Every structure is written in C-alpha cells, then in structure tokens.
Amino acid sequence: MAERSTAAGKQRLCEVDPSDVRTPPLLPGGYDPADYAAFVARSAGEASVSPLLVMTVLHNEAYKPHHPFLERLWQWWKPGASFGVANMHRAAFERVRRMHGLSGRWQDLRDDPAFAIRAAVLYLKDLDRSLPQRHAPRYTRDELLALGYNTGERNMRAFARGVPPGPMARSYLRRFRAHRSQAAKALADSATPSEPPAE
C-alpha cells in the first residue's frame, strides 16, 4: 500500500501554507473547528479527500480542549491520549508517518494544528483506499471512513460487511451525522470572501 503514495503527492501536501492555521485557544469554550475550515478545504482537496468528511471529523473530535498546554496536561492524566485538533492516536499516526514519510513526530500534533489536520487527511485517504467499493447500504462511504478514523481500519471493514457497531462507535456515528450540517456551513462560510470594510 505504501507504493500508492507518490512523491509528488507528498510534495503537494507539504506546500500548503500552515501560517494561517492558529493554535487553539486556551479556554475550551473558545475553540471552534470552523476556524480551520479554509485549511481543511485546501489540505483535503490536495489529497483528494472530502473536505466535508475531514471537517465533520474535526467537529466530532472537538469534545476535549486542544490547546497544546491542555493536551500536555491531558496526556499526564491519560498517557495514551490522542493528540491534535483531530485527536489522532499514536498507532494511527505512526502508520501514516511511515506510509507517507512524514518527518514530524506524534507529539508535534498537539503543537501544530496544520500538521494535525494534514495527518488526519492522509489517514482518511489511506482508510478510503482500504474500504471496499461495495459496502452495507445503511452507511455512506464517509460514515464508514469516520468510523474507521474512530475505531480503526479492521473495524471499519467489519462495519462495511454489515457487522453492527458497538455502543461507542454508534455514539460516534450519531455525532458525525449531527455535525454534518455544521461542518458544511463552516466550509461554505470559509469559501465566501469576506466583505471589505466600509469606508
């Protein structure tokens, strides 16, 4: 599967300018995944991944604070915690790092939202490659990919065959469906140029 990742694809993804991606705020109430919509649209588009899928995953993963300091505290309390605005687990990140030759470390996800989003995009792209074209009709492809992001590739493939998800995966799927319109609005708003100030 690693051979499917081309050097050109790696290069294009790295050219996305992360300077317009701000660090999540220290106060959890001030965090809004919509702040990353423009970067999600660019990163996902360059990797041929649905921006709506990525944006909805970010909304689903917004249940905990994402400021780097708070993520460090979270890791102290729960050493196996996931990192970054996309809440990526270490095993998933290490797989993406190996497959795509990423130079960053898993710990960098908490300090660099642009890197965290790019890693999530690549992981979703890899999951999409491994998901059969034909799957259980009760789920959309994006729903299965979101379940894969949350529960891993093996579980995703089982759900695609019709194996029912457990309670936590069902909860994730419910939230994914609920956040879909919010994610779509964030992407639409980020694509709309802002009005120049009145003189």
CA-CA distance, 98 to 124, in Å (whole number)?
15
CB 93, CB 124: distance < 8 Å: no
Q: Which two tokens stand for residue 87?
A: 């809440």
Question: CA-based angle 188:176:180, to the nearest 5?
Answer: 20
For the chain, what percent of residues have pLDDT higher than 70? Answer: 74
pLDDT number for residue 194: 52
> Is there a domain that residue 55 lies in?
yes
Question: What residue ranges in the chain does DSSP mark as E strands?
Answer: none
pLDDT number for residue 82: 76
Q: What is the model's pTM?
A: 0.80
pLDDT number for residue 80: 72
Q: Which two tokens stand for residue 80?
A: 């196996």
CB 49, CB 125: distance < 8 Å: yes
12: Cα within 13 Å, side-chain hemisphere? 13
pLDDT number for residue 109: 74
Kindly state the average pLDDT of the residues 76-101: 85
In total, how many domains does the chain have?
1
CB 135, CB 160: distance < 8 Å: yes
Position with higher pLDDT, 106 vs 67: 106
Position with higher pLDDT, 193 vs 195: 193
Band the pLDDT of 23: cuts 50, 70, 90: low
Instruction: Give the chain's mean pLDDT.
Output: 82
pLDDT number for residue 182: 95
Does pLDDT of 91 surpass 60? yes
CA-CA distance, 30 to 27, in Å (whole number)?
6
Kindly state the average pLDDT of the residues 22-26: 59
In the chain the first and final C-alpha atoms are separated, in Å, by 56
Q: Which structural domain, as residue segments, surrounds residue 53?
A: 2-15+31-131+180-191
54: Cα within 13 Å, side-chain hemisphere? 30
Does pLDDT of 16 surpass 60? no
> Is there a domain that residue 69 lies in?
yes
pLDDT number for residue 3: 33
pLDDT number for residue 66: 55
> Is there a domain that residue 142 lies in?
no
Q: Is the dihedral of CA 70, 16, 5, 131 positive or negative?
A: positive
CA-CA distance, 37 to 69, in Å (whole number)?
23
> Is there a domain that residue 166 lies in?
no
Does pLDDT of 104 surpass 60? yes
pLDDT number for residue 69: 61
Band the pLDDT of 19: cuts 50, 70, 90: low
